[in-house]
Amino acid sequence: MNIEKIKSFCKDLLPYVVIVLVVIIIRTFIVTPVRVDGPSMKPNLKNGNIMILNKLANIDRYDIVVIKSLKLNETLIKRVYALPGEKIKCVDGKIYINGSVIKDEYGSGTTADFDEVTVPNDSYFVMGDNRPISLDSRLLGTFTKDEIKGTTSIRIFPLNRFGFVK
């Protein structure tokens, strides 16, 4: 094989190599698909939904987050309720943050009462939308920023439900 053929081959191959590298970088550091597993986020998310995980987003109250639970050694999808440094509790089915009742427009079913929790400075208190069955901060405790892999608000599957989710 002569040198000109090698140069031509490399020149033809270069765009494909660049595309593969860009895809790898995007999936590793920016966004990647994630699958909802189980009914803990019903009715807003259903088992089998495919979401886009944003690894660069800031975390705010009511964001849906993807967590790598060290305690369970599995990935969870939950909603953020209390931010670092806040106090959260549930009395008579009402959720209080820093002593004020919040309007819980995402939870379905009755939220069982729980004692006040002060969220550590590097952590978040999360709950699933399907309160009676969700395994979340009420039982597992708060999750650190390092355990949260990112936020998700875009459903890509099923295609008939494609779009933003809140």
Active site (catalytic) residues: 40, 78
Q: What is the dihedral of CA 30, 127, 106, 65, to 10 degrees?
A: 0
Contact 152, 64 (CB under 8 A): yes
**Chain centre distance of CA 142:** 14
DSSP string, 12-57: HHHHHHHHHHHHHHHHHHTEEEEE--SSTTTTTS-TT-EEEEETTP
Contact 131, 120 (CB under 8 A): no
Strand partners, 125: 82
